[in-house]
């Protein structure tokens, strides 16, 4: 499904933007370029932290609620499962609710 992948990309970007907007992370951001760079860095770190939690819990057999919580904070409670296909129309059809 395409929707989980999109949500797991967009949610960390929005979270990064919100974190930077609320805290400014000790930076005085006078330019939009600097703010965008910091936002992307924060979003990348946000994604990495919660994805690592998700994988670690999966590998060591930790509590399912922790894996679900980490996934939910990425926008979808479980990592998307991909299958190999070249049929774009079929993929789009399957991604619809």
CA-CA distance, 11 to 43, in Å (whole number)? 9
Residue 62 phi/psi, 5-degree rounding, is -70, -175
Distance of CA 21 to the CA centre of its chain: 18
CA-CA distance, 50 to 66, in Å (whole number)? 10
Sign of CA dihedral 10, 70, 3, 84: positive
* pTM recorded for the entire structure: 0.59
For residue range 32-90, what is the model confidence (pLDDT) as tens digits? 777 777 888 888 888 888 888 988 998 998 899 998 999 888 888 877 776 676 777 87
* Tokens representing residue 63 in the block: 């509590």
């Amino acid at each position: 499904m395409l929707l989980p992948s999109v949500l797991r990309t967009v949610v960390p970007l929005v979270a990064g933007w919100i974190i930077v907007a609320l805290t400014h992370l000790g930076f005085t951001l006078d330019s939009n370029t600097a703010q965008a760079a910091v936002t992307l860095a924060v979003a990348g770190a946000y994604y990495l932290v919660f994805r690592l939690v998700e994988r670690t819990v999966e590998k060591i057999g930790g509590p399912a609620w922790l894996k679900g919580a980490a996934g939910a904070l990425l926008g979808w409670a479980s990592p998307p499962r991909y299958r190999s296909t070249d049929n774009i129309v079929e993929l789009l059809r399957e991604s619809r609710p």
